């Protein structure tokens, strides 16, 4: 869990909304890899000066790195900053770059059942953006919700503390446009609207509770570039804390730049990793209790009538699954044997059917303490990861696929992409020939 000052902050101007319609050691990685602007790459003769400046920065406790772009497989290019040297805060970007890009800064916040996440980014070349600030914290807002029907006081306190940090970051960045959403926990809780009012009073942030269809669309929008050429159909799923969104995407005909335009059917299951773990237990999971979780989710999927869409496409070789959630990124990290979660290696990774089978079987063979000790799971997810695997297994049974693509991205990236596209920032950059 991130260590930040949870004190009072100066509120951001309340009620800012945009015109767009309606994931510590765990795989909540954006806060560990916030982007930075490039410092100029000078001529060779200027190397000594750069080194002296760098030494001075280090003496002040600042570590500045150049830009890095995500691997092409990742789709959305995120030029990211180096991890800060231990004990030294990372600089977000230099002052010149901040002044130059201030008018083109966008922000997206997603308050879910389990996590509070923020991304601040600037558009670069068409279809791409660079993250300049980020935050992610597991707050478990939906803790106890399935049993009580209400958000608990301790859970709300945790969420408000995280949102105050987000408000401070937004106040510093002053984004041109931002979208701040809340999902299943606030949708379904009896006191969800009251909590939104409390957030506005204590942080100055006005959160928008989105419906399930909008949530599914944003997840698709955030993962569009992970669908490679030649693919005819995709089932994209987002396993959340309190709900799981599933979208069927048919791109067998002409494909437009907006993947969300090709959604032919969608559903939202009223179950996520938190609610399923609370129902069946998350600490001690046997193969029998795991099978019971899979069956419970499968029954929900059986009630989803997709009209046979994608059936013919799914039977061919040009079909695959895309998973965007802590469940699939965790599986990917364990599969890769990472000693520390690394978004650059996980986002866009392909996992074959046998790989997924083996990872689920491995997690089932571990007890709670073994799951907790794994650096890609950690204490925050040790009691939730097998519930997520059960939801994943039910989806795989309904739509069998030889391949699963892992996405460490989702709603925030979808919001950023939609806002930037709506403002035409990439069209203007194309006309002027600028390529950040």
Q: Give the tens place of pLDDT for each residue, 343-391.
A: 999 999 999 999 999 999 999 999 999 999 999 999 989 999 999 999 9
Q: Which two tokens stand for residue 138?
A: 């597991």
- Rounded Cα distance between 139 and 133, Å, is 19
pLDDT greater than 60 at residue 123 = yes
The 3-state secondary structure of 53-104, one letter per residue: HHHHHHHCCCECCCCCCCCHHHCCCCCECCCCCCCCCECCCCHHHHHHHHHH
- Rounded Cα distance between 428 and 387, Å, is 45
Kindly report, as residue ranges, where domains of CATH 3.30.420.40 are found in the chain.
30-212+412-432
- Rounded Cα distance between 34 and 121, Å, is 9
- Rounded Cα distance between 417 and 436, Å, is 16
Strands (E), 308-408: 319-323, 350-352, 403-406
pLDDT of residue 188: 92
CATH code for the domain defined by 224-408: 3.30.420.150
What Cα–Cα distance (Å) separates residue 181 from each residue in 134, 162, 277? 16, 14, 24
Q: Higher pLDDT residue, 37 or 312? A: 312
pLDDT greater than 70 at residue 92 = no
Q: How confident is the model at residue 87 (pLDDT cuts 50, 70, 90)?
A: very low
pLDDT of residue 431: 55
Reported as half-sphere exposure (CB side, CA atoms, 13 A), residue 159 has a value of 29
Q: How confident is the model at residue 146 (pLDDT cuts 50, 70, 90)?
A: confident
- Tell me the per-residue pLDDT of 281-304, one tens digit each, with 9 for 90 and over: 999 999 999 999 999 999 999 999
Express as a percent the part of the chain with pLDDT over 70.
74
DSSP secondary structure string for all residues of 109-158: EEE-SSEEEEEEEEE-STT-EEEEEEEEEE--TTTTHHHHSS--HHHHHH
Q: Higher pLDDT residue, 62 or 247? A: 247
How confident is the model over 204-224, as a mean pLDDT?
Answer: 92
Kindly report, as residue ranges, where domains of CATH 3.30.420.150 are found in the chain.
224-408
How confident is the model over 68-81, as a mean pLDDT?
Answer: 33
pLDDT of residue 394: 97
State the DSSP H helix or E strand holding residue 267, giving kind and residue range, or none if neither: strand 263-269
pLDDT of residue 61: 33
3-state secondary structure of 349: coil
| Least-confidence region, from 39-43, 99-103, 231-235, 307-311 | 39-43
pLDDT of residue 15: 37
- Rounded Cα distance between 38 and 417, Å, is 22
pLDDT greater than 70 at residue 2 = no
How confident is the model over 263-269, as a mean pLDDT?
Answer: 92
- CB of 35 within 8 A of CB of 130? yes
Rg (CA), the chain: 21
- Tell me the per-residue pLDDT of 406-416, one tens digit each, with 9 for 90 and over: 999 989 999 99
- Tell me the per-residue pLDDT of 219-228, one tens digit each, with 9 for 90 and over: 998 888 888 8
What kind of fold does domain 30-212+412-432 have according to CATH? Nucleotidyltransferase; domain 5 (3.30.420)
- Tell me the per-residue pLDDT of 7-20, one tens digit each, with 9 for 90 and over: 333 333 333 333 33
How confident is the model over 237-256, as a mean pLDDT?
Answer: 89
């Amino acid at each position: 869990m991130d260590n930040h000052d949870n004190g009072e902050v100066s509120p951001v101007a309340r009620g800012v909304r945009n015109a767009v319609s309606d994931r510590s050691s765990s795989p909540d990685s954006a806060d560990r890899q916030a982007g930075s602007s490039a410092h100029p790459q000078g001529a060779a003769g200027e190397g000594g000066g750069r080194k002296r400046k760098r030494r001075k920065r280090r003496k002040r406790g600042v570590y500045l790195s150049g830009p890095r772009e995500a691997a092409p497989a990742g789709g959305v290019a995120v030029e990211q900053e180096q991890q800060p040297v231990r004990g030294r805060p990372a600089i977000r970007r230099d002052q010149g770059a901040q002044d130059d890009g201030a008018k083109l800064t966008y922000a997206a916040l997603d308050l879910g059942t389990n996590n509070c996440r923020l991304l601040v980014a600037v558009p670069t070349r068409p279809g791409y953006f660079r993250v300049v600030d980020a935050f992610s914290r597991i707050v478990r807002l939906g803790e106890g919700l399935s049993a009580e029907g209400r958000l608990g006081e301790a859970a709300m306190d945790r969420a408000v503390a995280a949102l105050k940090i987000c408000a401070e970051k937004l106040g510093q960045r002053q984004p041109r446009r931002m979208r701040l959403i809340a999902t299943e926990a606030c949708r379904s809780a009896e006191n969800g609207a009251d909590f939104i009012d409390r957030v506005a009073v204590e942080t100055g942030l006005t959160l928008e509770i989105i419906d399930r269809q909008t949530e599914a669309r944003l997840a698709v929008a955030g993962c569009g570039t992970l669908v490679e050429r030649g693919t005819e159909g995709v089932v994209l799923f987002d396993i959340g804390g309190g709900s799981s969104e599933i979208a069927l995407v048919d791109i067998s005909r002409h494909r437009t730049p907006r993947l969300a335009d090709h959604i032919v059917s969608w559903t939202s299951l009223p179950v996520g990793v938190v609610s399923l773990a609370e129902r069946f237990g998350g600490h001690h999971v046997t193969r029998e209790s795991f099978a019971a979780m899979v069956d419970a989710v499968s029954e929900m999927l059986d009630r989803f009538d997709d009209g046979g869409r994608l059936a013919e496409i799914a039977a061919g070789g040009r079909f695959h699954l895309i998973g965007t959630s802590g469940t699939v990124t965790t599986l990917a990290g364990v599969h890769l044997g990472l000693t520390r979660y690394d978004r650059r290696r996980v986002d866009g990774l392909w996992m074959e059917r046998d790989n997924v089978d083996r990872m689920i079987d491995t997690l089932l063979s571990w007890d709670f303490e073994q799951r907790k000790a794994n650096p890609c799971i950690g204490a925050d997810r040790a009691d939730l990861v097998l519930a997520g695997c059960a939801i994943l297994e039910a989806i795989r049974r309904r739509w069998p696929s030889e391949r699963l693509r892992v996405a460490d991205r989702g709603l925030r990236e979808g919001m950023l992409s939609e806002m930037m596209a709506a403002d035409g920032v990439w069209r203007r950059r194309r006309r002027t020939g600028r390529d950040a």
